Structure 1
């Protein structure tokens, strides 16, 4: 069967840690850009590093206002890339940048999209329910239309995601309030207990069936803390146990060839905690599984 040859990849850095309690993830995109792992990818003809965006200076603005400004800028870059027939790959930064990434995709698709959210956490608090006040614990709720008004409606009016086509895969640490919110929204949650019971492959099959049926297409956001910290130590909020890195790379191999995939986001890379470039190498491997990288162009 003839391979398809989609648009070239556009890397967009989102170098912000202001949405997290530990802000070291703001160094992640630049550190990856200078890593040996990136150097091994950067000469590929289907791959370019575009802009790296930074959180705006405070200048008296609130933290939420600064996150909102960065996310608006990121949404613009993502929508521009898709409009230019490029495939956006966003490298974060803490997970609050997802508000910008998927708002930009929704704008480009002119409607809510499906999303596979791979994470150790649910990231679905609102300011009222959050225990920490950290915005990187709120982006999925914002994308579903709940949260601080400054973080809503950035791409389109209302929800940026189709809740019926959104799946959280791999969570193992979360609070009851965010679980209850996602259950009310009828978002499918496939937690670590279910994965351990059923196996990763059938759970991934279920997730793909749900997100890939979204009429406006779908995306994948990967918080690196979804993976066992023994295998991916360079993360912002490590949690014991977790997914096997090999399984996540194989998942990207499957996802990367699907025609409805509109963008990829990889977040919470903390270079201060990485060991021997292990986590940077994993990011490179994941990007390498995307269709244009594997197949080249004709």
Structure 2
């Protein structure tokens, strides 16, 4: 990336990723179209927000979930790269969370020659399985492991075989549902995980500040991946895999607002919106509120 590109105002470019092949309920693939239809992402007086393409799985890759995920993620990585190189800020909107492999592989591709990237992963789940540890076989439970360099080569090899993230530059926030195999991997790698119990004891603001310090330390930029199932389904029902006892929209928006004006904050994604499970567009509005919290950039 041209260093001069980040010294000027960045437009926020929304990239849809219609990913549903990685999840048990493919209706998450409808999420980007629904969010664009509902017009939940808005210009502000200081920030231009525009929709880019909604990327879809090419017809020839629809034969297996693995082929579908890889093909879409390759397209997404290239589009994220293009937006960053133009000096803008990509907001990827999914779709199931398998799209994260494409998002952060694209960011890594742009910034790798300058240094590593950090990532805050806000999610009810760890998403750190491989095919060797998963009970369900669902690829949306694997993206973080793949980005850390673990799992099937079809996933880890997107935009090159090297790991896209280093464990010391990653934090998870809001975790409250996971399985032994993925927890063992993150523990072995030394990834910092703030489970929901710790968030409630210490407060999200304190936890978020600690996570920020981690992902900024020794990196050239960082991003945030928000799975909407991190939110409490009592308030936000329209998600792919709801888990009780999550974050509240207002508190997460307040935490994200700390990122306004941070030039090392390079990309964000909001995923797992399922319009078929939403009520009165409540969760769609939550996605808009979370994106609105980071603007102006």
Q: TM-score, normalized by length of structure 2?
A: 0.92
- Which residue does the alignment assign to 1:75? 77
1:282 aligns to 2:286 (yes or no): yes
C-alpha distance in structure 2 between counterparts of 1:56 and 1:214, whole Å: 38
1:53 aligns to 2:55 (yes or no): yes
Matches within 5 A, 1:129-140: 129-140=133-144
**Secondary structure of 2:40 counterpart:** helix
- Which residue does the alignment assign to 1:296? none
C-alpha distance in structure 1 between counterparts of 2:159 and 2:88, whole Å: 18
**CA root-mean-square deviation:** 1.8
Matches within 5 A, 1:195-274: 195-274=199-278
One of 161, 167, 171 as aligned partner of 1:163: 167
* CA distance 1:287–1:59, shift in 2 (3 Å): closer
Deviation for aligned residue 1:55: 1.7
Structure 2 residue runs without a partner (length 5+): 1-6
Deviation for aligned residue 1:91: 0.2
Deviation for aligned residue 1:48: 1.2
Superposed CA deviations along residues 33-92 of structure 1, whole A, max 9, x for unmatched, are 000434x54998611111110122256743211211110110000011000001000000
* CA distance 1:112–1:57, shift in 2 (3 Å): farther
1:97 aligns to 2:99 (yes or no): yes
- Tell me if structure 2 keeps the 8 A contact 1:114–1:163: no
- Which residue does the alignment assign to 1:149? 153
- Which residue does the alignment assign to 2:14? 11
Superposed CA deviations along residues 213-234 of structure 1, whole A, max 9, x for unmatched, are 2422110000000000012111
C-alpha distance in structure 2 between counterparts of 1:118 and 1:271, whole Å: 20
* CA distance 1:287–1:5, shift in 2 (3 Å): farther
Structure 1 residue runs without a partner (length 5+): 294-298
- Which residue does the alignment assign to 1:65? 67
* CA distance 1:42–1:196, shift in 2 (3 Å): closer
C-alpha distance in structure 1 between counterparts of 2:30 and 2:230, whole Å: 19
C-alpha distance in structure 2 between counterparts of 1:227 and 1:11, whole Å: 21
- Tell me if structure 2 keeps the 8 A contact 1:37–1:277: no
**Secondary structure of 1:169 counterpart:** strand
C-alpha distance in structure 2 between counterparts of 1:244 and 1:136, whole Å: 23
C-alpha distance in structure 1 between counterparts of 2:194 and 2:55, whole Å: 32
Which one is further off, 147-156 or 137-146?
Answer: 147-156
- Which residue does the alignment assign to 2:36? 33
Count of equivalent residues: 289
Q: TM-score, normalized by length of structure 1?
A: 0.92
C-alpha distance in structure 2 between counterparts of 1:60 and 1:269, whole Å: 21
